[in-house]
Structure 1
Amino acid sequence: MQKSQVVTHGGLTLDVSQIKSFHIDGYIPRERGHILRVELKSRYEYLWNPGSKEYEKLLINDFIEHPYSDYETAVAYRDEWQEIWVDCLQENN
């Protein structure tokens, strides 16, 4: 398990050790503009089911979205976050 490393940059605060990928969702008219989407590593949660009186394993796939007004800004922040991510991965190896 990697050591947690929390970083704040460009209006987002993320635990870099939990990042799975970055990508940009295109412009959606009348919506939120260009979206930087950060996918986090999958994890499992165990929930108590009172009906069956057993714990159930639930797969969680979280993501974070941050809107930007234009594509170029979204790309710039994605590239900066990727640099931060790579630096943190190299420090942990």
Structure 2
Amino acid sequence: MEKKKKDEFFKFRITEKEKELIRERAKNSGKNLSEFSRFMLLNGEVISISLEEKRILAGLANNINQLVKLFHQKNKEPNNLMEELRTTLIHLKNAYRRSN
């Protein structure tokens, strides 16, 4: 496999904290900073969530919180806990699929 010459530069500004976080992630990945940065810029993903999806996710989170609170109050699993969690999981999976 022929190695292509890398003679172009990409420059952008980051904070010192961001720089340290990026260096740490590169180190943890086993790549040097250039390899890691190049890989993330070419293969990384930014997931964009619409306001409507944020509203839906907030509602799902609220439902889960209410179920957990009920669980703690009664000290036993509410009748609909597992069904609600399954439904919530289906909604989350569908939302994730739409974002890809």
Shorter chain as denominator, the TM-score bin is 0.3 to 0.5
Higher relative contact order (CA 8 A, sep 6+): 1
Which has the greater radius of gyration? 2
Give the structure-2-normalised TM-score. Answer: 0.33
Choose between structure 1 and 2: higher strand proportion. Answer: 1
Choose between structure 1 and 2: higher helix proportion. Answer: 2
